[in-house]
Amino acid sequence: MVKICCIGAGYVGGPTMAVIALKCPEIEVAVVDISAPRINAWNSDQLPIYEPGLEAGKAADLTYWESAARMIADVSTSDKIVVEKSTVPVKTAEAIEKILTHNRKGINFSILSNPEFLAEGTAIKDLFHPDRVLIGGRETPEGTKAIQALKDVYAHWVPVDRILCTNLWSAELSKLAANAFLAQRISSVNAMSALCEATGADISQVSHSVGTDSRIGPKFLNASVGFGGSCFQKDILNLVYICECNGLPEVANYWKQVIKVNDYQKTRFVNRVVSSMFNTVSGKKIAVLGFAFKKDTGDTRETPAIDVCKGLLGDRARLSIYDPQVTEDQIFRDLSMKKFDWDHPAHLQPMSPTSVKQVSVTWDAYEATKDAHGICVLTEWDEFKNLDYQRIYDNMPKPAFVFDGRNVVDVEKLRKIGFIVYSIGKPLDPWLKDMPAVVA
């Protein structure tokens, strides 16, 4: 019987193995993780991640694995195909291969790179209908055989013409390149959003006009307060590092700029809030609607909300945060973390004492916005489109401000109610025109 063991039961491991198990009943799927709470959660009705289309069931038995590659070498008693699914620095497959072959006790290991392209919030849909599956392997008879074995797994539900096979390096680099291209589109549109605000153009109209060119395409052109998520920034930094190591500083700087524009966009947003509210938010209550890095997920890794909240707290605002999927505990942890601490599993992080006394977390948008001087929309949750904004307005001191970092609110409707509204890349409210967002 073919058996697949997946190391890591997170946002990728959990959904991916659930889909393989569903689509390939003759394959035994086991998932292991070093986090006991995560294991327990997968085996309960309360899954550790929120993902539409993924429901609680029984996960496989899970064990502790400390050092994945060494452990594989230690425990293997027969030939193995080791599949690198995580996004890794290029040449990691080669390093894993070295560890395995130096400890192999007569066992043959074939290494494959099979990067994952799913996005959170649509993971199950993406896994069922991937644009492509990419498998990289050694160009040797054993490598070809291993590629074919993995191809056979995916062929249970993915059309074979969508399964691309490459060498190891190409597969690893393609993953970084794909994320860099996607993030670059967002930084491009966000850079344009600043220009729209300065000129009176409307970013939604510009994006639509640009995206109807079939060579450009309409997707991933939504202006925002900035991209977040566990991967875009990390993968671009990874790419930058590889460029630098290979003596390509111009290429490195080109990709670095994608991150710089993203940081600029978050700073620009905070400055808009502060400058609009009489140049200070000190002591003022600001409601933050949405904390996850995008809708339909409870994931907060690298969410732009962290930087925006920290920026507002830096000017001594009082924050009242509401997100339908993010816990209070998580928000406090995020706001007290140093950048990049998220890279270590949450269960290994101490909860540091923090300056987040100015923050409260509510489970209701109306509670969060009550008595608030301003509202920042930082995640595009659908429910934020249909809130009773008249009721919200009635419960706020005046002038009442809305700063929409996701272009989800109906600007005209809110202005009619009486709000002063800022929406990324949209023609400015007359109130804001004389208050340019100056980046310090």
Ligand X SMILES: NC(=O)C1=CN([C@@H]2O[C@H](COP(=O)(O)OP(=O)(O)OC[C@H]3O[C@@H](n4cnc5c(N)ncnc54)[C@H](O)[C@@H]3O)[C@@H](O)[C@H]2O)C=CC1
Ligand Y SMILES: O=C(O)[C@H]1O[C@H](OP(=O)(O)OP(=O)(O)OC[C@H]2O[C@@H](n3ccc(=O)[nH]c3=O)[C@H](O)[C@@H]2O)[C@H](O)[C@@H](O)[C@@H]1O
Give binding residues for NAD(+) as ranges.
8-13, 33, 38, 86-87, 120, 231-234, 301
Which of ligand X, ligand Y, none binds 114 (CB below 5-8 Å, type-dependent)? none
Q: What whole-number distance in Å separates Cα of residue 423 and Cα of residue 410?
A: 10
Instruction: Report the candidate in 346, 275, 340, 262 with the shortest Cα–Cα distance to residue 304.
Output: 262
The least CB distance from residue 31 to ligand X, in Å, is: 9
The residue type found at 203 is I
State the DSSP string of 191-253.
HHHHHHHHHT--HHHHHHHHHTSTTT-STT----S---SSSHHHHHHHHHHHHHHTT-HHHHH
Instruction: Report the candidate in 90, 73, 91 with the shortest Cα–Cα distance to residue 82.
Output: 73
Two tokens, residue 232: 């875009």
From the list 5, 6, 165, 231, the catalytic residue is 231
Beta strand ranges found along 290-351 (DSSP E):
318-322
Contact 35, 144 (CB under 8 A): no
245 is catalytic: no
> Does residue 85 interact with ligand Y by CB under 6 A?
no
Of 24, 32, 134, 186, the one binding ligand Y (CB under 6 A) is 186
In this chain, which stretch among 49-57, 117-125, 267-275, 428-436 interacts with ligand Y, using CB under 6 A? 117-125
Which of ligand X, ligand Y, none binds 68 (CB below 5-8 Å, type-dependent)? ligand X
Considering the complex, state which of residue 220 and residue 431 has its C-beta at the smaller distance from ligand Y. Answer: 220
Which of ligand X, ligand Y, none binds 9 (CB below 5-8 Å, type-dependent)? ligand X
Of 272, 294, 333, 426, the one binding ligand Y (CB under 6 A) is 294
Contact 172, 90 (CB under 8 A): yes
The least CB distance from residue 404 to ligand X, in Å, is: 25
Q: How many residues bind ligand Y (CB under 6 A)?
A: 20
Considering the complex, state which of residue 249 and residue 345 has its C-beta at the smaller distance from ligand X. Answer: 345
* Annotated binding residues: 8-13, 33, 38, 86-87, 120, 231-234, 301
Residue 300 sits at the vertex; the CA angle it makes with 294 and 303, to the nearest 5 degrees, is 65
Instruction: Report the candidate in 68, 69, 138 with the shortest Cα–Cα distance to residue 103.
Output: 69
Considering the complex, state which of residue 181 and residue 363 has its C-beta at the smaller distance from ligand Y. Answer: 181
Contact footprint for ligand Y (CB under 6 A): 87, 116-120, 179, 182, 186, 220-222, 224, 227-229, 231-232, 293-294
Give the active site residues: 231
